[in-house]
Chains A and B, each alone.
Chain A
Amino acid sequence: KAGVTQTPRYLIKTRGQQVTLSCSPISGHRSVSWYQQTPGQGLQFLFEYFSETQRNKGNFPGRFSGRQFSNSRSEMNVSTLELGDSALYLCASSLSGTSTDTQYFGPGTRLTVL
Chain B
Amino acid sequence: NAGVTQTPKFRILKIGQSMTLQCTQDMNHNYMYWYRQDPGMGLKLIYYSVGAGITDKGEVPNGYNVSRSTTEDFPLRLELAAPSQTSVYFCASALGGPQETQYFGPGTRLLVL
**A-B complex is real:** no
- Residues of chain A whose beta carbon lies under 8 Å from any beta carbon of chain B: none
A-binding residues in B (CB < 8 A): none
